[in-house]
Structure 1
């Protein structure tokens, strides 16, 4: 009991220490005694570091009603702000993106200031941890490496949203210049990579048992791979900015030149993750069969494919915000569910390979669904598919009286998101443990394939990487493609394999295809099903359920006006 009271008191002190809501670079009111107390014992310092974790490791689960540095969009999932998904209800934050109703005063996905609060905490920890008396030098080196990684991770979360941002590599005091200008994009990328390179040497190859969720070498290598892939991609790796701007601003939002060697660096970084994997006991899940492997990866916490997960939320109960925001109607407390548009469904190939052709209408909906890549049925709940042993078949069609069936069917995409809603969630289980996958191994096969194809064309290693991912889901191997054809195939494979994991929303930005018709712009299609008399089949019609709005200035977020008005930062072009 005394130990519990101790941690409660310490948590309250930490809260007081970091409750400042003033300028994001400003020093909180002096509480030096409290800080000295925190860094007088290793268990206090560890608690401080766990607080940094809580503010730094991303989660895409819809867990709340406001934005934070840990990710997530207000009352929804980011998938519903691109072609992966839709929320039919009017108030969740995704709809402001889809309607183009967001700006420098109202961003439902990100709170700029909270990133710097997390960075400040990481800087303080790195400055103070060496002075903690009751820990070995080796352990303090490890903890400092964890904090350095978390700082790098937060800078990446900033860069992918805003481009170049002010770099703060130490605790700032009131006597310091607090109005720091933006650093160039290249400087920010180099800073993140330097932090990764410095952190990796002080960390264990993997974190096992109850330490899963702590930073390992694999997590650092994974971040480096993702950062360099983004840096090499068209949004940043181009001589031309995504919207017209001055040369000075262009270096803040991109490299302002194209360099093919950036792709090779990204390929090398992805290969480093694949080479690390055996030493970290990390591998693709392949032992459950093509119809179960993929679902096992997202439904089983701490499986062998996960490199780093956000484990802060753990078990979710029915009627929690999470299930309220994601479960389909008439299932376990769901308010509105996340529907999947046909725009995205069409990215799933046939099981035999090659694109599935969806006509405007037909009388074979069941057969069309059954023909798709096995990952479709392991990610998406569609009419006639079993949701779980308790719900049984999903009923998502329009009845003969014109009313929707039990689980909907008259609005949105026509299919429900099932991923991250495990079949084990029943009234008797009353919930499930769900961890958000920050990094998993399949991503790095695809990172390697993409970067190497751009650097060298479709060489043997490119085919090996992408076909390894496809094979575990029973999909046929690719062969005989040009560089351009392979680029298209890799992008499609990323969409399917990494679906609903907060990749697509950023991928279409870094590829500069977000404005293409049907991606983040233009018509969103849904499927409307009607039963066919004396048949188990359903008639289907494709209908336009939404017209989405895009402007190229949206490739990067605007900085909050409250910061721009202080006249120390340049706003992103177009805003």
Structure 2
């Protein structure tokens, strides 16, 4: 539809410009860089290559990345540039999943409390790329007006894109570290690169300003040759995400959860005071995105015919629904901007091995890599579709597993592969628990489920359907508005609609919500879930958090939400018991078993030290002398 840009592979000359020196001086000016710049800004066609590099290196990803995926060649080449690679899905450090093999460094370090200031970049793979993207943006802002064959409209668009990339990369720093060194212009010397951390508030204000300035430059939407590039909505969404994080308990406080021991330094990692109005600013920013979307022709996917509220979990046919469409269909109406690194892929091609089980466990699935087994911690978040209340799982076990599954929120079957469920068109049913589980078989799928989300049913790569990697979506903005408005003024009054029974398949809620309840129920309605009705801020907060968990599953939100809500240390989130299901067939009905027993069990106990609410800066950067390390590290 609207966002189908293909990122160009940058030339060797461009790579030299993007990486002007070794990782130890990532802001230094490179020898000969002016000559390369003169070529780049001599004509629009050359500038476009440079902009393509900014997209390739500056766009975040919700999936694990390798250097080859980023156009950087082999691991050996990338390592000289300070860029690490990962072969694991980082959902495995949250209550969403556990990696199907436990010997990988990144999730193991998080799960056992072994994260240090020496290995933190196993998570923050793009740390050095982020600075290069910011440098690229600063150079574009400095020199774009020099391009002789570019008109004012094009130059303004590029300025907006550069500001957007500076903002989104700065946000990625903010959510991990708190305040960070702000680099708002080209750095040309080693001394000039020794920039100290700015306060948290200063960093937030800088990101918001870049987003506001970008909005003034960017077009309402992108079309034609520029489809897929940043538009006003992308900048507005980064602003909304930033202000939501800034209003959250981790940062919107007088006393950080881990303190430096003095008020001045604590302002590096929090505001140093609490303000209710920060929630209002976050709500207003999210609403601004929804208003833009209505004007620009974007909308939440909600076809009443696909508000599926009856699913037979024993049927091997494709499970459909609005929620599945929202993550499976590329360039759909609710994707504001996406990472377009990947084209059409087969099961064994990245990033799908990070989403699917290993092929030794399920043939025709994810090759020999490390896909996630989905935990019972996550599955038990799905409510009953009939009542909107929690499912009554028996922790002593039971023989009614398929009945339990069949009663759940329709998003369950559109997110998770359970026993007997379809994985994709080459694996129409998945035999979890159909054999008495040996120790090795149990260890391969300890959670009792595999992941479905972002696994396109046309997985053989012959359909032309790309792997979808959304970065900013409208469903997030509805949840952000609901959360912020609930904190600012409470649930409010839901729009007067009788949304019960059959009416749930045709009822409508306003595109621009009038209250927190309107916004969260807009999300639930498209999946035929009963609306939430409460007058309690605390109750609605809990329900909204659960909606974040379900709706944004596998989209790299859970880790950061647990931290910003100060909920990482709650048992079963990022700390404590990780639950799975032992599953066994109860009959041999032809052609497939139809009855299964289940028994919940704890297969891991995770650690989460309080200091890990913020990342430590990598040790080699702190040793340069300009960065004050976060508390506890």
Shorter-chain TM-score: which interval? Answer: over 0.9
- Aligned equivalent of 1:62: 64
Unaligned runs of 5+ in 2: 1-7, 68-74, 309-320, 494-514
**Structure 2 length normalisation: TM-score?**
0.85
- Aligned equivalent of 1:228: 243
Distance 1:258 1:136, change over 3 A: same
The alpha carbon displacement at 1:73 in A equals: 7.3
- Which residue, 457, 462, 468 being the options, matches 2:516? 462
- Aligned equivalent of 2:376: 342
- Aligned equivalent of 2:476: 443
Report SS of the residue matched to 2:55: helix
User: 1:317, 1:432 within 8 Å by CA — same for their partners in 2?
Assistant: no
Report SS of the residue matched to 1:439: strand
User: 2:330, 2:465 within 8 Å by CA — same for their partners in 1?
Assistant: no
User: 1:71, 1:109 within 8 Å by CA — same for their partners in 2?
Assistant: no
Figure out how many residues of one structure are paired with residues of the other and give that number.
565
- Which residue, 29, 32, 35 being the options, matches 2:31? 29
Give distance in 1, aligned partners of 2:611 and 2:280.
29
* 1:157-172 alignment, distance < 5 Å: 157-172=172-187
- Aligned equivalent of 1:3: none
Give distance in 2, aligned partners of 1:396 and 1:71.
37
Residue-by-residue CA offset, 1:319-347 (whole Å, 9 max, x unaligned): 22323333223233433421111111111
Distance 1:480 1:15, change over 3 A: closer
User: 1:57, 1:70 within 8 Å by CA — same for their partners in 2?
Assistant: no
Residue-by-residue CA offset, 1:533-553 (whole Å, 9 max, x unaligned): 467311111111111110010
The alpha carbon displacement at 1:156 in A equals: 0.3
Task: Say whether 1:316 aligns with 2:345.
Answer: yes
Task: Say whether 1:77 aligns with 2:89.
Answer: yes
Distance 1:481 1:70, change over 3 A: farther
- Aligned equivalent of 2:228: 213
Report SS of the residue matched to 1:375: coil
Give distance in 2, aligned partners of 1:346 and 1:481.
25
Give distance in 2, aligned partners of 1:503 and 1:73.
20
Distance 1:483 1:200, change over 3 A: same
- Aligned equivalent of 2:139: 124
- Aligned equivalent of 1:429: 462
* 1:38-437 alignment, distance < 5 Å: 38-64=40-66, 74-92=86-104, 93-107=106-120, 108-111=122-125, 112-174=127-189, 177-208=192-223, 211-246=226-261, 247-287=263-303, 288-291=305-308, 292-328=321-357, 329=361, 330-335=363-368, 336-352=370-386, 353-360=388-395, 361-397=397-433, 399-400=435-436, 402=438, 411-426=445-460, 429=462, 432-437=465-470
User: 2:219, 2:232 within 8 Å by CA — same for their partners in 1?
Assistant: yes
User: 1:397, 1:404 within 8 Å by CA — same for their partners in 2?
Assistant: no
Task: Say whether 1:496 aligns with 2:545.
Answer: no
Distance 1:409 1:474, change over 3 A: farther
Unaligned runs of 5+ in 1: 1-6
Task: Say whether 1:481 aligns with 2:535.
Answer: yes
Distance 1:545 1:519, change over 3 A: same
Residue-by-residue CA offset, 1:257-297 (whole Å, 9 max, x unaligned): 10110000000001101111111211011125123111111
User: 1:167, 1:188 within 8 Å by CA — same for their partners in 2?
Assistant: yes
The alpha carbon displacement at 1:404 in A equals: 7.3
The alpha carbon displacement at 1:176 in A equals: 5.1
